[in-house]
Amino acid sequence: MPFWKKVILWGSLAAVLYIALSYHFIFFRWHDVRVLKKSELTLNYTFFSAQGKSNKVILAIEPLRRDGIADLLVKAGKMNEEQKEALLALFQEDTY
């Protein structure tokens, strides 16, 4: 294999790994995938299925909550702003 093909291959693999470390891919339905920026580079919750889960269960996951999944749930129409604030307050009280 020529050197330039190896460079392209390894560069592409590095880019895919960096994307996996940088973003959450949230699946609401098989055709409804939303992307959420991670606050730190990690493989935790890179792919997350929200299908069939309640908003409370989803927001109970601290890394997703910290990265702003509540706003994503509002944009996706899964809850409104009042529900978001109530659930976030519930989890904020649990941290004290």
Chain segment 33-86, per-residue pLDDT in tens: 999 999 999 999 999 999 999 999 999 999 999 999 999 999 999 999 999 999
- 87: exposed, middle or buried (Cβ count in 10 Å: 0-12, 13-18, 19+): buried
Please report the pLDDT score of residue 92 as a whole number: 86
Residue 33 main-chain phi, psi, to 5 deg:
-115, 130
Contact 36, 54 (CB under 8 A): no
Please report the pLDDT score of residue 78 as a whole number: 95
Question: What distance in Å separates the CA atoms of residue 71 and residue 87, rounded to the nearest whole number?
Answer: 12
pTM (two decimals): 0.86
Report residue 95's pLDDT band, with 50, 70 and 90 as the boundaries.
Answer: low
